[in-house]
Amino acid sequence: MAISEFVSTELVSRANINNRITQANLCFPVSLYNNASGTSGTVPLSDSAANYNYLEIYFKDNDDIYNSIKAYNSNGKKLSLITIATASTATRGWIKNASVSVSGSTITFEAEKGQLTIINNGNSTIGNGDYILICSVIGYKY
């Protein structure tokens, strides 16, 4: 077989490329939700989480501290979104958390959400509130 025949029939064949991608277990990202401002309300996904091997959730807190998590086989699971920060003067630190449930094409914030403030004099405070905002959700499937 001549090189040109090999290239045109073997390497460039769409079926062959798709087959090689499948064999390599490559993941393809799909944007399921995007809101730069973020939301602490119900997050509508453009497709069911059940159709993806894992989700990557990008979020921020009310002080614009960003974080993300990867959750494998996340449909039907409860996840924890957490940010941790300290004041520039090192006088206090914050842990902000929100629990969310993934179900089909919706991510819902649970009642377990709030902020723990740790102060360097040994005191701490706990507040309940909407401190975590989901900005983006990317689904990955093989």
The rounded distance, in Å, linking the Cα atoms of 107 and 104 is 8
> Is residue 13 in some structural domain?
no
User: pTM score > 0.95 for this model?
Assistant: no
With respect to residue 16, please indicate whether it lies within any of the assigned structural domains.
no
- 111, part of any domain: yes
Q: Would residue 1 count as lying in a domain? A: no
In degrees, rounded to 5, the angle at the alpha carbon of residue 21 between the alpha carbons of residues 11 and 30 is 130
pLDDT of 16 reads 63
Question: Over 50: is that where the pLDDT of 110 sits?
Answer: yes
Domain carrying residue 124? 26-141
Dihedral sign of CA atoms 34, 39, 40, 44 in order? negative
Q: Is the pLDDT of residue 95 over 90?
A: yes
User: Domain tally for the chain?
Assistant: 1
Residue 19 belongs to some domain of the structure: no
Is residue 94 in a domain?
yes
Q: What is the pLDDT of residues 40-79, one digit of tens each?
A: 999 999 999 999 999 999 999 999 999 999 999 999 999 9
Tell whether 78 is covered by a domain: yes
Higher pLDDT, 104 or 23: 104
> Hey, what are 79's tokens?
């996840």
Share of the chain above pLDDT 70, in %: 82
Burial class (CB in 10 A: 0-12, 13-18, 19+), 52: buried
Sheet holding 132-141, edge to edge: 28-39, 132-141, 54-61, 66-72
Residue 108 lies in a domain: yes
